[in-house]
């Protein structure tokens, strides 16, 4: 299995290696799934992009330097799917909370839990599904097209709740992302685009895997699960402005692991990570790499903090903590909890939002095509195309 791209050196090396394939080759081959686990036709950059070890703008810029825009269109659109899901969930954060609550309730049902456990262990008797369940367990990665088949078979053939499936893959994927994971499962289940589900098909699975994987006895109809009413849409959060003069502690979280490439000039005294903000070993590797880079870039101490950020900030005379914007997910929940406590100590916690998100998220309120039609304009605004 190829190694995961959790350090910036590795991610940039993979980007350089993959860039020549991001044009026509990607458009024609990206949906073929190699059963041997060699996913050379796709970038495998998701673990890095999810944590912003590299930024979407950097990836798209590199690809457009190598290909005319019309040839790279497919790849660029896929990168914008990540943006779309993020922006969509940002306006409906309740969907993330609701999905987690529902998965916990489903897991407490012994019959559901038993069937789910057999599926997760790769014991359904559906060869392709079992193969991918094992691949996920062993590697933490699945090709996008395989993820679609897995989610579809789980929901429509095995009759398991999609929320529990989303919880399974979120716990196992190295690129686990609240928005892309939760909303892709909803999309497969037919809940994102009302009435339009994704139904896996055995012949197509055989064809797309070069006849290596079989899936017999699949559901021939998608019985779309009943949806709970969506929590109300809220206004997008607008982070407060940074104060360039204030003594600042830079907080690195798994939500933005290349802050040194995007932050404006600040009075930085130290850079830190907080152990509890890492959800997985992969997060910890990416955070540690980002911390080392940040300390070298700003020539400041690199601090690994167990939890008490205010003590750390005070020790370095910092009255401002700057971190990457945390979209809906575990890091955002922690930041929302600690910000008021920091404020009582005279320390402001500011999330720095990337231009990429600020410009795109307002166009993520309905379907993907609302955003897609704006991609050329957005790229011009970034000076990329």
Ligand X SMILES: Cc1cc2nc3c(=O)[nH]c(=O)nc-3n(C[C@H](O)[C@H](O)[C@H](O)COP(=O)(O)OP(=O)(O)OC[C@H]3O[C@@H](n4cnc5c(N)ncnc54)[C@H](O)[C@@H]3O)c2cc1C
Residues forming contacts to ligand X in the complex (CB under 6 A) are 30, 42-46, 49-50, 78-79, 81-82, 85, 143-144, 147-148, 151, 169, 173, 175-177, 180-181, 184-185, 188
- CB contact at 8 A, 364 and 274: no
Residue closer to ligand X (CB basis): 224 or 314: 224
CB of 67 to ligand X, least distance (A): 14
Q: What is the 3-state secondary structure (H, E, C) of 335-347?
A: HHHHHHHHHHCCC
Residue closer to ligand X (CB basis): 77 or 113: 77
For residue 284 the two structure tokens come to: 């910890």
Q: What is the DSSP letter of 67?
A: S
CB of 26 to ligand X, least distance (A): 7
Nearest one of 50, 41, 24 to 326, comparing CA atoms: 50
For residue 32 the two structure tokens come to: 């073929």
CB of 313 to ligand X, least distance (A): 32
CB of 145 to ligand X, least distance (A): 8
At 103, give phi and psi (nearest 5°): -65, -40
Give the separation between CA 365 and CA 22, rounded to whole angstroms. Answer: 28
Nearest one of 38, 59, 33, 34 to 47, comparing CA atoms: 59
CB of 317 to ligand X, least distance (A): 38
Instruction: Give 146-212 as a DSSP string.
Output: HHHHHHHIIIIIS---HHHHHHHHHHH-TT--HHHHHHHHHHHTTTTTTT------HHHHHHHTTT-
CB of 117 to ligand X, least distance (A): 19
Residue closer to ligand X (CB basis): 280 or 319: 280
CB of 75 to ligand X, least distance (A): 6
Residue closer to ligand X (CB basis): 256 or 305: 256
Give the separation between CA 169 and CA 175, rounded to whole angstroms. Answer: 10
Residue closer to ligand X (CB basis): 30 or 269: 30
Residue closer to ligand X (CB basis): 4 or 298: 4
Give the separation between CA 75 and CA 3, rounded to whole angstroms. Answer: 21
Residue closer to ligand X (CB basis): 157 or 184: 184
Residue closer to ligand X (CB basis): 188 or 251: 188
Give the separation between CA 184 and CA 326, rounded to whole angstroms. Answer: 20
Give the separation between CA 129 and CA 107, rounded to whole angstroms. Answer: 20
Residue closer to ligand X (CB basis): 21 or 291: 21
Where are the alpha helices (H) located in the chain, listed in sequence order?
Answer: 8-18, 24-29, 46-50, 56-66, 69-91, 94-107, 110-120, 127-139, 144-152, 162-172, 178-188, 202-208, 281-298, 309-315, 330-344, 355-360, 368-372, 375-381
Give the separation between CA 145 and CA 208, rounded to whole angstroms. Answer: 9
CB of 175 to ligand X, least distance (A): 4
CB of 82 to ligand X, least distance (A): 4
CB of 148 to ligand X, least distance (A): 5
Residue closer to ligand X (CB basis): 36 or 238: 36
């Amino acid at each position: 299995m190829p190694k995961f791209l959790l350090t910036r050196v590795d991610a940039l090396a993979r980007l350089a290696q993959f860039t020549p394939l991001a044009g026509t080759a990607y458009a024609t081959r990206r949906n073929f799934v190699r059963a041997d686990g060699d996913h050379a036709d796709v970038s495998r950059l998701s673990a890095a992009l999810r944590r912003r070890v590299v930024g979407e703008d950097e990836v798209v810029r590199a690809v457009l330097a190598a290909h005319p825009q019309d040839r790279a269109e497919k790849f660029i659109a896929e990168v914008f799917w990540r943006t779309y899901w993020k922006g969509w969930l940002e306006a409906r954060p309740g969907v993330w909370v609701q999905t987690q609550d529902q998965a916990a309730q489903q897991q407490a049902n012994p019959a559901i839990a038993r069937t789910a456990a057999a599926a997760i262990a790769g014991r359904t008797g559906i060869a392709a599904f079992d193969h991918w369940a094992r691949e996920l367990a062993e590697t933490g990665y699945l090709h996008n097209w395989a993820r679609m088949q897995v989610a579809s078979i789980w929901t429509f053939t095995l009759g398991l709740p999609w929320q529990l499936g989303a919880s399974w893959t979120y716990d196992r994927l190295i690129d686990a992302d609240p928005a892309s994971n939760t909303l892709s499962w909803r999309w497969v289940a037919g809940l994102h685009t009302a009435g339009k589900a994704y139904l896996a098909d055995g012949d197509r699975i055989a064809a797309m895997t070069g006849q290596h994987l079989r899936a017999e006895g699949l559901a021939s109809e998608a019985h779309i699960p009943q949806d709970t009413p969506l929590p109300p849409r809220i206004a997008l959060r607008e982070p407060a402005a940074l104060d360039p003069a204030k003594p600042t502690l830079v907080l690195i979280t798994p939500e933005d692991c290349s802050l040194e490439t995007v932050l404006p000039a600040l009075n930085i005294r130290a850079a830190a990570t907080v152990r509890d903000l890492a959800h997985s070993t992969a997060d910890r590797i990416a955070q540690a790499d980002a911390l080392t880079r940040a300390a070298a870039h700003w020539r400041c101490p690199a601090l690994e903090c167990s939890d008490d950020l205010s003590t750390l900030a005070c020790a370095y005379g910092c009255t401002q903590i700057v971190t990457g914007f945390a979209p809906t997910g575990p890091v955002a929940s922690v930041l929302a909890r600690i910000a008021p406590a920091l404020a009582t100590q005279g320390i402001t916690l500011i999330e720095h939002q990337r231009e990429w998100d600020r410009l795109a998220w307002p166009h993520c309120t309905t379907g993907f095509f609302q955003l897609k039609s704006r991609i050329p304009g957005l790229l011009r605004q970034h000076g990329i195309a």
